[in-house]
Chain A
Protein backbone atom coordinates (compact mmCIF):
# COMPACT_ATOMS: atom_id res chain seq x y z
CA UNK A 1 0.00 0.00 0.00
CA UNK A 2 1.50 3.32 -1.02
CA UNK A 3 0.38 5.05 2.15
CA UNK A 4 3.56 3.55 3.60
CA UNK A 5 5.67 5.66 1.22
CA UNK A 6 8.93 6.98 2.52
CA UNK A 7 9.35 10.67 3.18
CA UNK A 8 12.86 10.60 1.69
CA UNK A 9 13.28 8.34 -1.30
CA UNK A 10 16.40 6.58 -2.58
CA UNK A 11 17.87 7.57 -5.96
CA UNK A 12 19.19 5.01 -8.45
CA UNK A 13 21.93 6.96 -10.20
CA UNK A 14 22.93 9.86 -7.95
CA UNK A 15 25.46 12.47 -9.05
CA UNK A 16 25.50 14.13 -5.63
CA UNK A 17 25.32 12.22 -2.36
CA UNK A 18 24.74 14.22 0.79
CA UNK A 19 25.66 12.47 4.03
CA UNK A 20 25.06 13.75 7.55
CA UNK A 21 25.54 17.32 6.35
CA UNK A 22 25.30 19.96 9.07
CA UNK A 23 26.30 23.58 8.67
CA UNK A 24 27.03 26.24 11.27
CA UNK A 25 27.34 29.99 11.00
CA UNK A 26 29.52 30.46 14.05
CA UNK A 27 27.44 29.13 16.93
CA UNK A 28 24.15 28.94 15.10
CA UNK A 29 23.28 25.85 13.13
CA UNK A 30 21.64 26.36 9.73
CA UNK A 31 21.50 22.82 8.34
CA UNK A 32 20.76 19.73 10.39
CA UNK A 33 22.09 16.37 9.38
CA UNK A 34 20.89 16.27 5.76
CA UNK A 35 20.94 12.90 4.05
CA UNK A 36 19.81 12.51 0.46
CA UNK A 37 20.96 11.83 -3.07
CA UNK A 38 20.43 14.00 -6.12
CA UNK A 39 19.73 12.25 -9.42
CA UNK A 40 21.96 12.70 -12.46
CA UNK A 41 20.70 14.79 -15.40
CA UNK A 42 17.36 15.59 -13.84
CA UNK A 43 15.86 18.71 -12.33
CA UNK A 44 15.66 18.78 -8.54
CA UNK A 45 13.82 21.64 -6.86
CA UNK A 46 14.42 22.80 -3.30
CA UNK A 47 11.42 24.42 -1.66
CA UNK A 48 10.74 25.75 1.79
CA UNK A 49 10.07 29.00 3.64
CA UNK A 50 12.63 31.80 3.67
CA UNK A 51 15.56 31.02 5.89
CA UNK A 52 15.04 27.26 5.80
CA UNK A 53 18.50 26.67 4.35
CA UNK A 54 17.79 26.11 0.65
CA UNK A 55 20.32 28.62 -0.65
CA UNK A 56 22.80 27.74 2.07
CA UNK A 57 22.57 24.14 0.96
CA UNK A 58 23.09 24.69 -2.77
CA UNK A 59 25.99 27.02 -2.04
CA UNK A 60 27.68 24.06 -0.36
CA UNK A 61 27.66 22.09 -3.58
CA UNK A 62 30.13 24.42 -5.33
CA UNK A 63 31.69 25.56 -2.06
CA UNK A 64 30.55 29.15 -2.46
CA UNK A 65 30.18 29.13 1.32
CA UNK A 66 33.97 28.89 1.68
CA UNK A 67 33.99 32.66 1.34
CA UNK A 68 31.98 33.19 4.52
CA UNK A 69 33.93 33.70 7.74
CA UNK A 70 33.06 31.57 10.72
CA UNK A 71 31.18 29.01 8.68
CA UNK A 72 31.90 25.36 9.07
CA UNK A 73 30.32 22.12 8.00
CA UNK A 74 30.30 18.54 9.16
CA UNK A 75 29.37 15.50 7.13
CA UNK A 76 30.05 15.19 3.42
CA UNK A 77 28.83 15.95 -0.07
CA UNK A 78 30.14 13.54 -2.67
CA UNK A 79 30.21 14.52 -6.33
CA UNK A 80 30.47 11.31 -8.33
CA UNK A 81 31.78 9.58 -5.24
CA UNK A 82 34.42 12.16 -4.29
CA UNK A 83 33.96 14.30 -1.19
CA UNK A 84 33.99 17.93 -2.34
CA UNK A 85 35.23 19.08 1.08
CA UNK A 86 38.34 16.95 0.70
CA UNK A 87 41.64 18.84 0.83
CA UNK A 88 42.67 17.45 -2.56
CA UNK A 89 39.72 19.05 -4.36
CA UNK A 90 40.60 21.99 -6.60
CA UNK A 91 37.82 24.50 -5.92
CA UNK A 92 38.24 26.22 -9.30
CA UNK A 93 37.76 22.89 -11.05
CA UNK A 94 34.80 22.09 -8.79
CA UNK A 95 33.14 25.36 -9.82
CA UNK A 96 33.72 24.53 -13.47
CA UNK A 97 31.92 21.26 -12.91
CA UNK A 98 29.21 22.90 -10.84
CA UNK A 99 27.99 26.14 -12.44
CA UNK A 100 25.66 28.62 -10.84
CA UNK A 101 22.95 31.06 -11.87
CA UNK A 102 21.84 33.64 -9.33
CA UNK A 103 18.61 35.35 -8.39
CA UNK A 104 19.72 38.62 -9.92
CA UNK A 105 21.30 38.21 -13.32
CA UNK A 106 24.91 39.30 -13.13
CA UNK A 107 26.41 39.69 -16.61
CA UNK A 108 29.90 41.17 -16.69
CA UNK A 109 30.16 44.68 -18.16
CA UNK A 110 31.50 43.23 -21.36
CA UNK A 111 30.08 42.19 -24.72
CA UNK A 112 27.58 39.35 -25.00
CA UNK A 113 30.27 37.31 -26.73
CA UNK A 114 32.87 37.87 -24.01
CA UNK A 115 30.35 37.04 -21.30
CA UNK A 116 29.69 33.61 -22.76
CA UNK A 117 33.34 32.66 -23.17
CA UNK A 118 34.56 34.25 -19.95
CA UNK A 119 35.08 30.89 -18.28
CA UNK A 120 36.88 29.45 -21.30
CA UNK A 121 39.26 32.39 -21.46
CA UNK A 122 40.12 31.86 -17.80
CA UNK A 123 40.66 28.21 -18.66
CA UNK A 124 43.19 29.34 -21.29
CA UNK A 125 41.18 28.67 -24.44
CA UNK A 126 41.83 31.35 -27.04
CA UNK A 127 41.27 29.73 -30.47
CA UNK A 128 38.66 31.84 -32.22
CA UNK A 129 36.86 28.99 -34.04
CA UNK A 130 36.44 27.11 -30.75
CA UNK A 131 35.19 30.22 -29.00
CA UNK A 132 32.82 31.11 -31.86
CA UNK A 133 31.38 27.64 -31.80
CA UNK A 134 30.93 27.69 -28.03
CA UNK A 135 29.20 31.06 -28.15
CA UNK A 136 26.72 29.94 -30.76
CA UNK A 137 26.09 26.57 -29.14
CA UNK A 138 25.64 27.98 -25.64
CA UNK A 139 23.40 30.82 -26.76
CA UNK A 140 21.30 28.41 -28.78
CA UNK A 141 20.99 26.09 -25.77
CA UNK A 142 19.95 29.08 -23.68
CA UNK A 143 17.33 30.03 -26.30
CA UNK A 144 18.95 33.44 -26.78
CA UNK A 145 20.83 33.03 -30.08
CA UNK A 146 18.12 34.31 -32.41
CA UNK A 147 17.63 37.43 -30.33
CA UNK A 148 21.30 38.43 -30.05
CA UNK A 149 23.15 36.88 -33.00
CA UNK A 150 23.43 40.23 -34.78
CA UNK A 151 24.80 42.10 -31.80
CA UNK A 152 27.19 39.67 -30.16
CA UNK A 153 29.81 42.33 -29.67
CA UNK A 154 27.53 44.86 -28.08
CA UNK A 155 27.43 45.25 -24.31
CA UNK A 156 25.48 42.65 -22.36
CA UNK A 157 24.21 45.46 -20.18
CA UNK A 158 21.83 46.51 -22.97
CA UNK A 159 19.82 43.28 -22.74
CA UNK A 160 16.46 42.96 -21.02
CA UNK A 161 16.24 41.29 -17.60
CA UNK A 162 15.03 38.00 -19.05
CA UNK A 163 17.71 38.07 -21.75
CA UNK A 164 20.43 38.81 -19.16
CA UNK A 165 19.33 35.82 -17.13
CA UNK A 166 19.41 33.59 -20.20
CA UNK A 167 22.87 34.99 -20.97
CA UNK A 168 23.96 33.96 -17.47
CA UNK A 169 22.62 30.49 -18.15
CA UNK A 170 24.52 30.43 -21.46
CA UNK A 171 27.66 31.51 -19.59
CA UNK A 172 27.12 28.80 -17.00
CA UNK A 173 26.73 26.02 -19.56
CA UNK A 174 29.53 27.27 -21.88
CA UNK A 175 32.13 25.46 -19.77
CA UNK A 176 30.12 22.20 -19.97
CA UNK A 177 29.39 21.81 -16.29
CA UNK A 178 27.89 18.62 -14.94
CA UNK A 179 25.61 20.46 -12.56
CA UNK A 180 23.93 23.85 -12.82
CA UNK A 181 22.79 25.37 -9.54
CA UNK A 182 20.04 27.96 -9.84
CA UNK A 183 19.15 30.18 -6.92
CA UNK A 184 15.72 31.63 -7.66
CA UNK A 185 16.61 32.40 -11.26
CA UNK A 186 13.18 33.79 -12.13
CA UNK A 187 12.27 35.78 -9.05
CA UNK A 188 13.18 39.11 -10.66
CA UNK A 189 11.57 38.35 -14.03
CA UNK A 190 8.17 39.04 -15.55
CA UNK A 191 5.85 36.09 -16.36
CA UNK A 192 6.88 35.89 -20.02
CA UNK A 193 10.62 35.81 -19.26
CA UNK A 194 9.90 33.36 -16.46
CA UNK A 195 8.08 31.08 -18.89
CA UNK A 196 11.07 31.34 -21.22
CA UNK A 197 13.53 30.31 -18.50
CA UNK A 198 11.27 27.51 -17.29
CA UNK A 199 11.02 26.16 -20.81
CA UNK A 200 14.78 26.37 -21.07
CA UNK A 201 15.21 24.43 -17.81
CA UNK A 202 12.89 21.68 -19.10
CA UNK A 203 14.91 21.70 -22.29
CA UNK A 204 18.28 21.32 -20.54
CA UNK A 205 16.87 18.43 -18.55
CA UNK A 206 18.51 15.18 -19.58
CA UNK A 207 21.72 16.99 -20.47
CA UNK A 208 22.66 18.67 -17.20
CA UNK A 209 21.84 18.04 -13.58
CA UNK A 210 19.91 21.08 -12.44
CA UNK A 211 19.33 21.96 -8.82
CA UNK A 212 17.02 24.90 -8.40
CA UNK A 213 15.92 26.87 -5.38
CA UNK A 214 12.54 28.48 -5.82
CA UNK A 215 9.94 30.22 -3.71
CA UNK A 216 7.39 29.69 -6.40
CA UNK A 217 5.72 26.38 -5.71
CA UNK A 218 3.98 26.26 -9.07
CA UNK A 219 7.35 26.73 -10.66
CA UNK A 220 8.82 23.82 -8.72
CA UNK A 221 5.90 21.63 -9.72
CA UNK A 222 6.12 22.65 -13.38
CA UNK A 223 9.82 22.21 -13.99
CA UNK A 224 11.27 19.67 -11.58
CA UNK A 225 11.43 15.89 -11.56
CA UNK A 226 12.23 15.70 -7.86
CA UNK A 227 11.36 18.05 -5.02
CA UNK A 228 13.02 18.45 -1.64
CA UNK A 229 11.18 20.29 1.11
CA UNK A 230 13.40 21.90 3.73
CA UNK A 231 12.08 23.39 6.93
CA UNK A 232 14.20 25.06 9.58
CA UNK A 233 17.35 23.48 8.22
CA UNK A 234 16.00 19.95 8.09
CA UNK A 235 15.04 17.88 5.09
CA UNK A 236 11.42 17.01 5.75
CA UNK A 237 10.45 15.32 2.51
CA UNK A 238 12.14 14.40 -0.74
CA UNK A 239 10.56 12.55 -3.62
CA UNK A 240 9.15 12.64 -7.12
CA UNK A 241 7.64 16.06 -7.73
CA UNK A 242 4.39 14.58 -8.99
CA UNK A 243 4.04 12.68 -5.71
CA UNK A 244 5.10 15.52 -3.42
CA UNK A 245 2.56 17.87 -4.99
CA UNK A 246 -0.36 15.43 -5.09
CA UNK A 247 0.13 13.08 -2.15
CA UNK A 248 2.81 14.38 0.21
CA UNK A 249 3.83 12.00 2.98
CA UNK A 250 4.47 14.52 5.76
CA UNK A 251 1.95 16.83 7.32
CA UNK A 252 4.44 19.72 7.31
CA UNK A 253 4.92 19.38 3.54
CA UNK A 254 1.17 19.31 3.03
CA UNK A 255 0.71 22.41 5.15
CA UNK A 256 3.49 24.31 3.42
CA UNK A 257 2.54 23.60 -0.19
CA UNK A 258 -1.16 24.22 0.41
CA UNK A 259 -0.31 27.58 1.99
CA UNK A 260 -1.46 26.76 5.52
CA UNK A 261 1.83 28.18 6.81
CA UNK A 262 5.11 29.57 5.53
Chain B
Protein backbone atom coordinates (compact mmCIF):
# COMPACT_ATOMS: atom_id res chain seq x y z
CA UNK B 1 0.00 0.00 0.00
CA UNK B 2 2.75 2.44 0.89
CA UNK B 3 4.50 2.05 -2.48
CA UNK B 4 1.15 2.57 -4.12
CA UNK B 5 0.41 5.88 -2.42
CA UNK B 6 3.93 7.11 -3.27
CA UNK B 7 3.44 6.42 -6.95
CA UNK B 8 -0.12 7.81 -6.95
CA UNK B 9 1.15 11.01 -5.36
CA UNK B 10 3.99 11.19 -7.86
CA UNK B 11 1.52 10.88 -10.75
CA UNK B 12 -0.74 13.51 -9.21
CA UNK B 13 2.20 15.88 -8.89
CA UNK B 14 3.18 15.35 -12.55
CA UNK B 15 -0.40 16.00 -13.71
CA UNK B 16 -0.70 19.16 -11.68
CA UNK B 17 2.64 20.48 -12.96
CA UNK B 18 1.53 19.78 -16.51
CA UNK B 19 -1.72 21.65 -15.93
CA UNK B 20 0.36 24.50 -14.50
CA UNK B 21 2.55 24.74 -17.59
CA UNK B 22 -0.48 24.76 -19.91
CA UNK B 23 -2.05 27.56 -17.85
CA UNK B 24 1.27 29.45 -17.84
CA UNK B 25 1.31 29.27 -21.64
CA UNK B 26 -2.24 30.69 -21.64
CA UNK B 27 -1.23 33.65 -19.48
CA UNK B 28 1.87 34.32 -21.58
CA UNK B 29 -0.08 34.24 -24.84
CA UNK B 30 -2.95 36.37 -23.58
CA UNK B 31 -0.47 38.99 -22.34
CA UNK B 32 1.37 38.88 -25.65
CA UNK B 33 -1.94 39.23 -27.50
CA UNK B 34 -2.75 42.35 -25.46
CA UNK B 35 0.71 43.83 -26.01
CA UNK B 36 0.53 43.35 -29.77
CA UNK B 37 -3.26 43.61 -30.22
CA UNK B 38 -3.12 40.22 -31.89
CA UNK B 39 -6.62 38.70 -32.29
CA UNK B 40 -5.25 35.50 -33.85
CA UNK B 41 -3.09 34.71 -30.83
CA UNK B 42 -6.05 35.61 -28.62
CA UNK B 43 -8.18 33.05 -30.47
CA UNK B 44 -5.50 30.42 -29.77
CA UNK B 45 -5.76 31.16 -26.05
CA UNK B 46 -9.52 30.63 -26.25
CA UNK B 47 -9.05 27.32 -28.03
CA UNK B 48 -6.54 26.01 -25.46
CA UNK B 49 -9.06 26.31 -22.63
CA UNK B 50 -10.64 22.93 -23.40
CA UNK B 51 -7.32 21.27 -22.57
CA UNK B 52 -7.13 23.09 -19.25
CA UNK B 53 -10.63 21.92 -18.37
CA UNK B 54 -9.85 18.31 -19.24
CA UNK B 55 -6.64 18.36 -17.19
CA UNK B 56 -8.48 19.85 -14.24
CA UNK B 57 -10.88 16.90 -14.25
CA UNK B 58 -7.96 14.43 -14.42
CA UNK B 59 -6.22 16.01 -11.44
CA UNK B 60 -9.42 16.04 -9.42
CA UNK B 61 -9.91 12.34 -10.15
CA UNK B 62 -6.32 11.63 -9.07
CA UNK B 63 -6.98 13.41 -5.77
CA UNK B 64 -10.27 11.65 -5.10
CA UNK B 65 -8.71 8.29 -5.84
CA UNK B 66 -5.89 8.86 -3.36
CA UNK B 67 -8.30 10.11 -0.69
CA UNK B 68 -10.62 7.13 -1.17
CA UNK B 69 -8.03 4.39 -1.49
CA UNK B 70 -5.17 5.50 0.73
CA UNK B 71 -6.68 7.70 3.47
CA UNK B 72 -3.58 9.90 3.40
CA UNK B 73 -2.34 11.61 6.57
CA UNK B 74 0.26 14.23 7.50
CA UNK B 75 2.33 15.51 4.54
CA UNK B 76 0.50 13.19 2.12
CA UNK B 77 -2.84 14.59 3.24
CA UNK B 78 -1.59 18.15 3.01
CA UNK B 79 -0.25 17.46 -0.46
CA UNK B 80 -3.53 16.04 -1.76
CA UNK B 81 -5.61 18.81 -0.21
CA UNK B 82 -3.26 21.41 -1.68
CA UNK B 83 -3.41 19.73 -5.09
CA UNK B 84 -7.20 19.76 -4.95
CA UNK B 85 -7.29 23.45 -4.12
CA UNK B 86 -4.53 24.50 -6.52
CA UNK B 87 -6.25 22.56 -9.28
CA UNK B 88 -9.31 24.75 -8.88
CA UNK B 89 -7.23 27.93 -8.75
CA UNK B 90 -5.28 26.96 -11.88
CA UNK B 91 -8.48 26.27 -13.79
CA UNK B 92 -9.83 29.69 -12.78
CA UNK B 93 -6.57 31.34 -13.85
CA UNK B 94 -6.94 29.60 -17.22
CA UNK B 95 -10.47 31.02 -17.52
CA UNK B 96 -9.20 34.50 -16.70
CA UNK B 97 -6.48 34.25 -19.35
CA UNK B 98 -9.29 33.45 -21.80
CA UNK B 99 -11.27 36.46 -20.57
CA UNK B 100 -8.24 38.68 -21.20
CA UNK B 101 -7.91 37.18 -24.68
CA UNK B 102 -11.64 37.83 -25.31
CA UNK B 103 -10.99 41.53 -24.72
CA UNK B 104 -8.27 41.57 -27.37
CA UNK B 105 -10.76 40.23 -29.91
CA UNK B 106 -13.37 42.78 -28.85
CA UNK B 107 -10.78 45.59 -29.05
CA UNK B 108 -10.00 44.49 -32.57
CA UNK B 109 -13.69 44.69 -33.51
CA UNK B 110 -14.02 48.15 -31.99
CA UNK B 111 -10.85 49.36 -33.70
CA UNK B 112 -12.21 48.45 -37.11
CA UNK B 113 -15.17 50.79 -36.63
CA UNK B 114 -13.13 53.73 -35.47
CA UNK B 115 -11.65 56.38 -37.71
CA UNK B 116 -8.20 56.29 -36.23
CA UNK B 117 -7.58 52.64 -35.28
CA UNK B 118 -3.96 52.86 -34.14
CA UNK B 119 -4.37 55.81 -31.84
CA UNK B 120 -5.06 53.83 -28.64
CA UNK B 121 -3.00 55.17 -25.77
CA UNK B 122 -2.20 52.30 -23.40
CA UNK B 123 -1.57 53.27 -19.74
CA UNK B 124 2.08 52.91 -18.73
CA UNK B 125 1.34 50.69 -15.75
CA UNK B 126 0.23 47.79 -17.93
CA UNK B 127 3.83 46.82 -18.59
CA UNK B 128 4.88 46.28 -14.94
CA UNK B 129 1.55 44.51 -14.39
CA UNK B 130 2.24 42.08 -17.22
CA UNK B 131 5.73 41.37 -15.93
CA UNK B 132 4.79 40.91 -12.27
CA UNK B 133 1.70 38.77 -12.92
CA UNK B 134 3.54 36.41 -15.21
CA UNK B 135 6.54 36.26 -12.91
CA UNK B 136 4.33 35.49 -9.89
CA UNK B 137 2.84 32.57 -11.76
CA UNK B 138 6.22 31.20 -12.86
CA UNK B 139 7.44 31.46 -9.27
CA UNK B 140 4.32 29.59 -8.17
CA UNK B 141 5.20 26.62 -10.35
CA UNK B 142 8.81 26.75 -9.13
CA UNK B 143 7.69 26.89 -5.49
CA UNK B 144 5.47 23.86 -6.08
CA UNK B 145 8.05 21.81 -7.97
CA UNK B 146 10.93 22.62 -5.62
CA UNK B 147 8.80 22.65 -2.47
CA UNK B 148 10.15 26.11 -1.71
CA UNK B 149 8.17 27.83 1.05
CA UNK B 150 10.34 30.97 1.02
CA UNK B 151 9.53 31.53 -2.63
CA UNK B 152 5.82 31.02 -1.89
CA UNK B 153 6.01 33.72 0.79
CA UNK B 154 7.65 36.10 -1.70
CA UNK B 155 4.72 35.61 -4.10
CA UNK B 156 2.30 36.88 -1.45
CA UNK B 157 4.16 40.17 -1.20
CA UNK B 158 4.10 40.79 -4.96
CA UNK B 159 0.31 40.71 -5.09
CA UNK B 160 0.29 44.26 -3.71
CA UNK B 161 2.33 45.49 -6.68
CA UNK B 162 -0.28 44.14 -9.09
CA UNK B 163 -3.11 45.70 -7.09
CA UNK B 164 -1.31 49.07 -7.15
CA UNK B 165 -0.72 48.79 -10.89
CA UNK B 166 -4.42 48.17 -11.44
CA UNK B 167 -5.36 51.25 -9.42
CA UNK B 168 -2.86 53.33 -11.40
CA UNK B 169 -4.22 52.02 -14.70
CA UNK B 170 -7.70 53.12 -13.72
CA UNK B 171 -6.41 56.63 -12.90
CA UNK B 172 -4.40 56.81 -16.10
CA UNK B 173 -7.42 55.74 -18.16
CA UNK B 174 -9.50 58.53 -16.55
CA UNK B 175 -6.77 60.98 -17.41
CA UNK B 176 -6.48 59.84 -21.05
CA UNK B 177 -10.27 59.94 -21.40
CA UNK B 178 -10.38 63.55 -20.20
CA UNK B 179 -7.75 64.68 -22.71
CA UNK B 180 -9.08 62.65 -25.63
CA UNK B 181 -12.75 61.63 -25.10
CA UNK B 182 -12.81 59.55 -28.29
CA UNK B 183 -10.54 57.02 -26.58
CA UNK B 184 -13.13 56.20 -23.93
CA UNK B 185 -14.69 53.62 -26.18
CA UNK B 186 -11.72 51.30 -25.47
CA UNK B 187 -11.50 51.96 -21.78
CA UNK B 188 -13.97 49.40 -20.44
CA UNK B 189 -12.07 46.75 -22.37
CA UNK B 190 -8.66 47.89 -21.15
CA UNK B 191 -9.96 48.07 -17.62
CA UNK B 192 -11.31 44.51 -17.98
CA UNK B 193 -7.85 43.37 -19.05
CA UNK B 194 -6.36 44.98 -15.94
CA UNK B 195 -9.02 43.41 -13.74
CA UNK B 196 -8.42 39.99 -15.32
CA UNK B 197 -4.70 40.18 -14.65
CA UNK B 198 -5.28 41.40 -11.13
CA UNK B 199 -7.50 38.39 -10.48
CA UNK B 200 -4.92 36.05 -11.99
CA UNK B 201 -2.47 37.45 -9.43
CA UNK B 202 -5.08 36.92 -6.67
CA UNK B 203 -5.57 33.26 -7.57
CA UNK B 204 -1.81 32.83 -7.84
CA UNK B 205 -1.53 34.24 -4.33
CA UNK B 206 -4.18 31.79 -3.07
CA UNK B 207 -2.19 28.92 -4.51
CA UNK B 208 1.01 30.20 -2.93
CA UNK B 209 -0.82 30.14 0.42
CA UNK B 210 -1.86 26.55 -0.29
CA UNK B 211 1.77 25.63 -0.95
CA UNK B 212 2.80 27.15 2.38
CA UNK B 213 0.17 24.99 4.06
CA UNK B 214 1.44 21.96 2.20
CA UNK B 215 5.04 22.55 3.26
CA UNK B 216 4.63 23.96 6.74
CA UNK B 217 1.13 22.99 7.84
CA UNK B 218 0.48 26.64 8.48
CA UNK B 219 -2.70 28.39 7.29
CA UNK B 220 -1.64 31.92 6.32
CA UNK B 221 -4.71 32.90 4.32
CA UNK B 222 -5.95 35.67 6.56
CA UNK B 223 -2.72 36.81 8.12
CA UNK B 224 -0.73 38.49 5.36
CA UNK B 225 -0.40 41.56 7.54
CA UNK B 226 1.47 39.47 10.13
CA UNK B 227 4.04 38.05 7.73
A1 within 8 A of B: yes
In the assembled complex, the CB of A48 is this many whole angstroms from the nearest CB of chain B, namely 15
In the complex, what residue of chain A is closest to B4 when comparing beta carbons?
Answer: A259
Asked whether A247 lies within 8 Å of B78 as measured between CB atoms, the reply is yes
The B interface, classified by DSSP as helix, strand, loop or mixed, is helix
Residue from the set B73, B77, B217 with the largest chain A CB neighbour count within 10 Å: B73
How many A residues touch B, CB cutoff 8 Å? 16
B48 within 8 A of A: no
B75 within 8 A of A: yes
Asked whether A246 lies within 8 Å of B78 as measured between CB atoms, the reply is yes
Chain A residues within an 8 Å CB radius of B217:
2-3, 246-247
In the assembled complex, the CB of B114 is this many whole angstroms from the nearest CB of chain A, namely 56
Asked whether B216 lies within 8 Å of A3 as measured between CB atoms, the reply is yes
Asked whether B73 lies within 8 Å of A247 as measured between CB atoms, the reply is no
1/0 per residue B201-220: CB within 8 Å of A? Answer: 00000000000000011100
How many B residues touch A, CB cutoff 8 Å? 14
Asked whether A258 lies within 8 Å of B218 as measured between CB atoms, the reply is no
Asked whether A3 lies within 8 Å of B73 as measured between CB atoms, the reply is no
Asked whether B218 lies within 8 Å of A2 as measured between CB atoms, the reply is yes
A118 within 8 A of B: no
In the assembled complex, the CB of A220 is this many whole angstroms from the nearest CB of chain B, namely 10
In the assembled complex, the CB of B43 is this many whole angstroms from the nearest CB of chain A, namely 45
In the complex, what residue of chain B is closest to A217 when comparing beta carbons?
Answer: B73
Asked whether A245 lies within 8 Å of B2 as measured between CB atoms, the reply is no
A residues 220-262 touching B (CB-CB < 8 Å): 221, 245-248, 253-254, 257-260
With A246-B217, A247-B217 as given contacts, are A257 and B71 in contact (CB-CB < 8 Å)?
no
A56 to B200, CA, bound (A): 56
A88 within 8 A of B: no
In the assembled complex, the CB of A222 is this many whole angstroms from the nearest CB of chain B, namely 10
A218 within 8 A of B: yes
With A3-B216, A3-B218 as given contacts, are A247 and B74 in contact (CB-CB < 8 Å)?
yes
Asked whether A254 lies within 8 Å of B74 as measured between CB atoms, the reply is yes
A253 to B74, CA, bound (A): 9
In the assembled complex, the CB of B153 is this many whole angstroms from the nearest CB of chain A, namely 12
Asked whether B73 lies within 8 Å of A258 as measured between CB atoms, the reply is yes
Chain A residues within an 8 Å CB radius of B73:
217, 221, 245-246, 257-258
In the complex, what residue of chain A is closest to B79 when comparing beta carbons?
Answer: A258
Q: Which residues of A contact B (CB under 8 A)?
A: 1-3, 217-218, 221, 245-248, 253-254, 257-260
